[in-house]
Amino acid sequence: MATKKITANTTAQTITSAEKHNKCRITAINVDNQYSSSVKLTLQDIFTPDASHGVSSPSEKTITRWVRTIGDNTAYSADQNELADLVCLGTVKMVASATSTDCVIVVNYHWE
């Protein structure tokens, strides 16, 4: 199992990138928001589908897989039960509604 630690940022922060035909299963997301206001977090899955059924050059897709708003001075943990169906197909990124080093996000994941 791998772990990535980032801070909240309005620019999408890369958690990990998949090799083609692999899936990334998110197993835990832990947030410690000591920032002075709430922060909305969005986990994105960015990938390009294979060509098929008359689409010879499919375009890149960005799919929102998980969204939570974490209150100020709050710790939050999403565990395996909440994340049981959360599977990503490409590059996994987290983007926040604010930029702050006072909001720390730790994502645990593994490849299948």
Which position has the higher pLDDT, 23 or 79?
Answer: 23
The total number of structural domains in the chain stands at 1
* CATH code, domain with 23: 2.60.120.340
* Within-domain flag for 104: yes
* Within-domain flag for 55: no
* Within-domain flag for 31: yes
Give pLDDT tens digits for 46-87. Answer: 998 888 777 788 899 999 999 999 999 999 999 778 999 999
* Within-domain flag for 93: yes
**Rounded distance, CA 7 to CA 41, Å?**
11
Question: Which range marks the domain in which residue 99 is found?
Answer: 2-49+60-111
**High-pLDDT (> 90) share of the chain, %:** 79
Q: Which two tokens stand for residue 22?
A: 């692999």
**Rounded distance, CA 95 to CA 93, Å?**
7
**Rounded distance, CA 61 to CA 83, Å?**
21
Instruction: Specify the pTM.
Output: 0.91
Give pLDDT tens digits for 43-52. Answer: 999 998 888 7
**pLDDT score for 18:** 80
**Rounded distance, CA 46 to CA 81, Å?**
24
